[in-house]
Amino acid sequence: MGDKQATGQGEEMNSPACPFCSLPQERIVDSNSSGVVIRDGFPVSHGHTLIVSHRHVGSFFELTVDERGDLMILLENAKKVIDFELQPAGYNIGINDGVSAGRTVPHLHIHLIPRYLGDCADPRGGVRWVLPSHADYWSKK
């Protein structure tokens, strides 16, 4: 793919307007040949981290197999760092793949969100709460 080839979702590769295509070096906490790790600029929990692909694509499904593998290595390494530094009780891992899924930055990134005991009243359902009317399947509401 060329630097300006369309991704199939109305975006261009290596877009100069994309905040993830021009990250300042001081924000990068880890990297490999396919991506970088940064702390989220608008964290939902202490330690909220993003794994960002080097290549400007809008969808996880546009990554090559090698890129996916490299990003999973970065994800695992980021978790180890957060485990050591913050000792969370769990994690949410998510990708907002497409505008209808809530994506606001059109550059593939994976959220690693540490969760802590008591950070919300009832964490059951986790990522199912993106559609609240379908989240609570365990009670008779």
- pLDDT surpasses 50 at 135: yes
Average pLDDT, the chain: 89
- Tell me the per-residue pLDDT of 55-69, one tens digit each, with 9 for 90 and over: 999 999 999 999 999
Provide the pLDDT for residue 1: 28
Provide the pLDDT for residue 17: 86
Spell out a b/e string for 22-46, using b for 16 or more CB atoms within 10 Å of the CB, else e.
eeeeeeeeebeebbbbbeeeeeebe
Residues known to be catalytic: 109
Q: Domains of the chain (ranges plus CATH)?
A: 25-116 (3.30.428.10)
